[in-house]
Amino acid sequence: MTEIESQIANYRREIKLHPQQIETYQLLADALTNNGELEGAIATYQKALELQPNLWGVYQKLADIYRKQKRLSTAVATLEKAIELNPNFPWFYHKLGEVFVELQRWEEAVVALEKAIKINPNFYLSYEKLGEALVELERFDEAVAAYKNAIQIKPNSYWGHNKLGKALARLNRFEEAIACFNRAIEIKPNLYFASHSIGDALLKLGRTEEAVNKFKEALKINPNSYWSHNNLGDALIKQGKWDEGMAEYGKAIEIQPDFYWSYSSLANALQQLGKIDAAAINYRRAIALKPDNHWPHFSLWNIFQEQGKWDEAEVFYRECLEAYPNSYWAWA
C-alpha cells in the first residue's frame, strides 16, 4: 500500500467513526484527487457540501476536477457558485476566465479576468490570460497593454515577453516584436518558438537571409517543429531556392501529415515552376484536409481554366463561392 493509499484508508476509517466531521471529507477528497480517483473525489466533496453548503473553497476544487475531465460548462457553473459565496476572491474570477478561454468564450473571459484584476491588480497571470483573450478578439492594442502590465509585475516571465511579441507582430510592429522575442530567449535560452517568431517577423520585414537563419536555429532546438520547416520553406522560396524550399515543405508534411498549409504551399511552389499536375494533386490534398480553406479552391480553379477544363473549374468556383460568398476572389 502506498502512502497516499494509506492516507485514504485512514480518512475513511475516521469518517466511519465521525461521519459529521467535514474536514475529514475534504482531506479524503484531496487525497482521492491526488491519487487520480476523480469520481470518488467529486462524491466526497459533494458529501462535504451536503454537511456544510457554504464551503466556497470546495467549489473551486470541484471546478478544478471538472476541468481535468473537460466538463467545462459544469466547471463554469461550479465557479459561479463559488463566486456567489465569496464574491471578493480574485482567484475564482481568474479561474473562471481560464475556463472561458478554454471554451473560446472570449468576451466572457475578458469580463471575468478584468474582475480578477480589479480585485487583485498584482497577479501577472491574470494579465497574461486577459491578453490571450484580447488577441482572439483582435483587440491587439489592449492585448499589448495587458501583456505589458504582466511584465511590469513579473519582468522575468519569458511567456509574457513572448506573448507581447506576438501581439505586437499582429500590429505589424515587427522591430518591437523581435526585441520582445529576444528578451524571452535571454530569460529562457533554447526557446524554439521565440526563435521561430523572430524568423516570422524578419520575413515580414524582408530580411530573408536572417529569417532563414532564425528558422534553422529554431529547428536545431526542435527538429520536429513542422511550422518551422514550413516557414523555412517560405523563406527559401523567397530566395529562389526552390528545391530546398519544397524539401522543407516535405519535411513539414512528413512530421505532420495532416498539415494542410504545407500541401498548399508546396502546390503553390510547384505551380510557379510550371509543374501543374503535381500542383493540382497537392491542392487537392490541402482541400481534403481543410475543405473551408478558399485559396486551394481558387488555385485549382485557375489551373483548370488555364487547361480548358471548364466543368472542373466551375465545380471549384461554386464550392468556394458557397464557402466564401463575400470574398473578392469569388467576384473577380
Q: Give the count of domains, the chain.
A: 2
Q: Is residue 78's pLDDT more than 90?
A: yes
* CATH number of domain containing 246: 1.25.40.10
323, part of any domain = yes
Q: Answer with the one of 256, 291, 308 that is the final residue of a domain.
A: 256
Contacts (Cβ under 8 Å, ≥6 apart) of 72: 66, 99, 102, 103
Cα→Cα distances 211→78, 159, 161, 202, 315, Å: 47, 22, 20, 5, 39
Q: Is residue 65's pLDDT more than 60?
A: yes
279, part of any domain = yes
Check whether residue 267 and residue 240 sit in a common domain. Answer: no
Check whether residue 228 and residue 297 sit in a common domain. Answer: no
CA atoms within 13 A on the CB side of 261: 13
The Cα 99–Cα 96 span in angstroms is: 5
CB count within 10 Å of CB 265 equals 24
Q: How confident is the model at residue 298, as a pLDDT?
A: 74
**pLDDT band, very low/low/confident/very high, at 331 (cuts 50, 70, 90):** very low
Over residues 105-155, the pLDDT tens digits come to 999 999 999 999 999 999 999 999 999 999 999 999 999 999 999 999 999
Over residues 36-52, the pLDDT tens digits come to 999 999 999 999 999 99
264, part of any domain = yes
CB count within 10 Å of CB 211 equals 25
8, part of any domain = no
Check whether residue 214 and residue 250 sit in a common domain. Answer: yes
Contacts (Cβ under 8 Å, ≥6 apart) of 292: 323
Check whether residue 249 and residue 265 sit in a common domain. Answer: no
Over residues 209-231, the pLDDT tens digits come to 999 999 999 999 999 999 999 99
CB count within 10 Å of CB 30 equals 16
Check whether residue 203 and residue 223 sit in a common domain. Answer: yes
Check whether residue 220 and residue 268 sit in a common domain. Answer: no
Q: How confident is the model at residue 33, as a pLDDT?
A: 96
Of 123, 129, 165, nearest in space to 144 by CA: 165
Q: Answer with the one of 256, 273, 304 that is the final residue of a domain.
A: 256
Q: Which amino acid is at 299?
A: S
The Cα 181–Cα 112 span in angstroms is: 28
The Cα 128–Cα 163 span in angstroms is: 8
Over residues 153-171, the pLDDT tens digits come to 999 999 999 999 999 999 9
312, part of any domain = yes
Identify the burial level of 25 via C-beta atoms within 10 angstroms of its C-beta, where 0-12 means exposed, 13-18 middle and 19 or more buried: buried
Computed over every residue of the chain, the mean pLDDT equals 93
Encode 177-220 in three state secondary structure: HHHHHHHHHHHCCCCHHHHHHHHHHHHHCCCHHHHHHHHHHHHH
Over residues 251-308, the pLDDT tens digits come to 999 999 999 999 999 999 999 999 998 999 999 899 899 887 777 877 877 787 777 7
Predicted TM-score (pTM) of this structure: 0.86
- Residue 35: alpha-carbon gap to chain centroid: 29
Check whether residue 224 and residue 275 sit in a common domain. Answer: no
Q: State which residues form the domain around 324.
A: 258-332
